[in-house]
Chain A
Amino acid sequence: METLTANMSSANESVSSVPTEQSKNKKSGSDRFRKHSNLPGNESANGLPPKKRGGVLRSIAQQKYLYLMSLPFVIWLFVFNYLPLWGWTMAFQNYKPAKSFSEQKWVGFDNFVKLFHDDQFYLVLRNTLAMSVLGLIFGFIVPIVFAILLNELRGMAFKRVTQTVSYLPHFVSWVVVAGIISNLLSIDGVINQILVHLHIISEPIQFMAKGNWFWGIVTASDVWKETGWNAIIYLAAITGIDKELYEASRVDGAGRFRQIWNITLPGIRSTIMVLFIMSIGHLLSIGFEKQMLLGNSLVTDYSQVLDLYALNYGIKIAHFSYGTAISMFNSVISIILLFTVNGLFKKFAKESIM
């Protein structure tokens, strides 16, 4: 690598030092730039081979603009993405905000022991898993079905309109969606009116106040908001399938369902696999926005998820160490899940994301 870059840079220089008549001005500009950027490498400009020790420094100097354009962001990434991992030490301390790091009291696994003995933790874990599994099933299958149905549409105009409209909810905030959903599901909301009109129910249901409706409401809102958006990837994958396959199968007398089952689905198999691995990795980090915005004090037993639990205990009442232990549990399980699933798929299905 080192010699390669050295070669390349000397090649660059030999080329640019060949005088070209048509660009006298530009050449002098490049000379100025070269003097400016190649301070440690001046000897090779004189035709001498570059010294070995100076190789690294020299190419760094030569690529100083590339470093100037990336280094600040590497530092930035370190601060905002990697430094919080250092905060995991808080989980093993009895963290007091006023004290410095060396003055904190170390407590080992106490916070985790406390966590695993907390009944509420298991309730929260149940809610998180229930909503994420529901989200995984419906949030995964519905977009695939939607993409396939859309692909089977004959009318191009209708297809385009449906597709465009289907992305729309993705761009609307969860605050707005929660507002819309609770309006639709309210006692005098449209859903209740329709159900009463159709005599499916005799009197309006208070959907938002019933805990056993909550998981369903969250899942349905999620499907409503994200189906169109998540279908984009599958639609793109379907476009990549060879059209001749469909024609050949039609000649052989295959109907639409056969074509979907034997051509479309196998054609997007690898896309489905990759996205499935990714969603498993995010099984526990399902977010908390929808739960927080759609939930209320009447349904807490069903709406509280790990992140909200961390928020309520960790930040609102300032039990930072305990909150960190919750977050850490969440992150570690997520990473283990991701690697396990990725490894399993690599072994058995020859598909992986890493």
Chain B
Amino acid sequence: MASSKAFNATKGERAFDVVNYIILGLVLVITLYPFLNVLAISLNDSTDTVRGGIYIWPREFTWENYKTIFGYTSLIQGFKISILRTVIGTLLGLLSSSMLAFTLSRPDFRSRKFVSVFLAMTMYFSGGMVPVYILMRDLHLLGTFSVYILPGMVSAFNVFVIRSFIDGLPYALQESAKLDGANDFVIYYKIILPLCKPVLATIALFLAVGQWNSWFDTYLYNGNKASLTTLQYELMKILDSTQQGSAMTNANDLANQMANVSPESIKMAITIVVTLPILIVYPFLQKYFVGGMTLGAVKA
């Protein structure tokens, strides 16, 4: 009796395991396949792509699509600005969030409570798109590079994640440094920052991905400023113009350049170029962000 019950249980367990493997295997395929499909189309001869039926392998392999898009000047400019905003935005974001987090981690800081609440409030409300737009206009930030950097520089979430990490460091380190005559800035710079490397890596990833991926600020604030265009915005314009079937509306020069090639392969080649930097850094950084996410979740 008892043995048959155990047998049933293991049989049920096995069935569960098999079904579970199948489900998660499907999830794996569904997540990865679209990327492979895009890659295959981008490497396929552009006129051949029109025939359809490219799944995971290019039918007529070629690098031509990539060569073509590297000839687009607006894309090159967008690439430059995207890299610039990613580097500057990440560095400034790290500096400001970590500084603020450090002051909030200090139990003796007199205004700690006020600053904490002042910061936390920003997570729950926002002025909305139009008032923010008007503010940017009044601050003369429209049509400038700063509009990519300044508005999102301090995020409450990032600050709280770093602060909970600092809270986990032994406070005695700061006290002994103080006895040795270090002022608070020196403590921050010489002791806290080096110890915070793991959490700073996480936040750097969040900031960098956010900067690299954003397109709406370009659209809203710098839409008619070709010198400040970004890669995501250029991709958005190209996808938009061909999708609507009226290719000539938005990117005139691009549409002309694309007249003799299949837009689909070109579009997918640009998609790959835009996504590639993330795919490259992703494996190296992924061990960090899981820790950072859970750290923030537990505290917030």
Contact = CB atoms under 8 A, between A and B. Distances in A.
Same complex origin of A and B: yes
Interface of A: 1, 5, 8, 12, 15-16, 23, 26-27, 29-31, 33, 37, 59-60, 63, 65-70, 73-74, 76-77, 79-88, 90, 97, 146, 149-150, 152-155, 158, 161-162, 164-169, 171-176, 178-184, 188, 190, 193, 208, 224, 228-229, 232-233, 236, 253, 255-257, 271, 281, 285, 289, 293, 296-297, 307, 310-311, 314-315, 320, 323-324, 326-328, 330-331, 334-335, 338
A31 to B, nearest CB: 8
Nearest to B33: A190
A327 B12 contact: no
Given A90-B134, A167-B286, A190-B55, A149 B24 contact: yes
A30 B178 CA distance: 9
B96 to A, nearest CB: 6
B178 to A, nearest CB: 7
Interface string B137-155: 1010000000000110110
Given A76-B154, A327-B129, 16 more contacts: A5-B110, A69-B99, A70-B100, A70-B104, A70-B109, A84-B128, A173-B232, A179-B239, A181-B34, A184-B34, A190-B33, A208-B243, A233-B293, A297-B244, A323-B130, A335-B124
Contacts of B298: 236
Interface stretch (B64-72, B209-217, B250-258): B209-217
B110 A63 contact: yes
A74 B118 contact: yes
A1 B113 CA distance: 12
B297 A233 contact: yes
Contacts of B108: 5, 8, 63
B73 interface: no
Nearest to A208: B243
A23 B108 CA distance: 25
B126 A84 contact: yes
Contacts of A183: 34, 37-38, 41, 264, 267-268
B27 interface: yes
Nearest to B220: A315
27 contacts: A16-B178, A33-B181, A63-B108, A63-B184, A70-B109, A74-B115, A77-B154, A81-B126, A85-B125, A85-B131, A87-B135, A90-B134, A97-B134, A97-B137, A162-B28, A166-B28, A168-B32, A171-B278, A176-B271, A179-B267, A180-B38, A232-B290, A256-B12, A271-B297, A323-B130, A324-B131, A327-B131
A80 B153 CA distance: 10
Interface stretch (B15-23, B83-91, B165-173): B15-23
A22 B294 CA distance: 43
B282 A331 contact: no
Contacts of B154: 73, 76-77
User: In which size bucket is the chain B interface?
Assistant: 35 or more
B236 A293 contact: yes
Interface string B281-296: 0110010011001100
Given A173-B215, A182-B239, A331 B31 contact: no
Interface of B: 5, 9, 12-13, 16-17, 20-21, 23-24, 27-28, 30-35, 37-38, 41, 52-53, 55, 96, 99-100, 102-104, 106, 108-111, 115, 118-119, 122, 124-135, 137, 139, 150-151, 153-154, 178-181, 183-185, 188, 209, 212-216, 220, 232, 235-236, 239-240, 243-244, 264, 267-268, 271, 274-275, 278-279, 282-283, 286, 289-290, 293-294, 297-298
Contacts of A67: 111
B278 A16 contact: no
A224 B31 CA distance: 7
Contacts of B118: 74, 77
A68 B243 contact: no
A311 B129 contact: yes
Interface centre among A26, A155, A172, A297 (most CB of B within 10 A): A172
A178 B239 contact: yes
Nearest to B134: A87
A183 B133 CA distance: 33
A65 B106 CA distance: 12
Contacts of A173: 212-215, 232, 274-275
A171 B183 contact: no
B100 A69 contact: yes
Contacts of A335: 124-125
A27 B264 CA distance: 70
B133 A315 contact: yes
B293 A150 contact: no
Contacts of B127: 81, 83-85, 87-88, 327, 331
Contacts of A289: 216
Contacts of A27: 181
A141 to B, nearest CB: 14
Nearest to A172: B275
A233 B181 contact: no
Contacts of A70: 99-100, 103-104, 109, 111, 115
B131 A88 contact: yes
A69 B130 contact: no
Contacts of A297: 244
